[in-house]
Amino acid sequence: MASCINITEIINNGDHTRLKMNESERKKLQHEFKIYMEKYFKQKLGKGVDYTKIIIWDDMLIIRGEGFLTTPEKFINETPSGREVVRAARMQVVKQHSRDNIPYFEERLGAKAIHQAYELEPENDFWMHAIVFDRVLCE
């Protein structure tokens, strides 16, 4: 599934030689990650996300999804206590997604994830995962 990224600039960073993507390569990899994430959630949850957006910028990868709740979750989500149940359950999904996919992103980007943050809003059927890497990824 993964294709090679052309090297446009090599950056010497200490003992490591790292790659920096140009705009075209960045867009291509964003699309690859989008397809990858849609397949991942479809396989793991049986339901894909209605809308997925991937942004690679500077030293960050941001994954955003909307329309991820199942029909039963939407029903449970109608009350404040139900939202907390859905939030807790989906945070487990987000954490598992991180464990499963950070190594893939690190390999494809040639960088190490050093920070990450999650945002989950069941009331808006929205989630986001931001990952900061140890180097600038694109021009």
Higher pLDDT, residue 70 or 2: 70
Confidence of residue 53 (pLDDT cuts 50, 70, 90): very high
Residue-range domain boundaries for the chain: 14-133
pTM: 0.81
Confidence of residue 18 (pLDDT cuts 50, 70, 90): low
What's the pLDDT score for residue 1? 33
What's the pLDDT score for residue 12? 41
- The β-bridge partners of 10 are 19
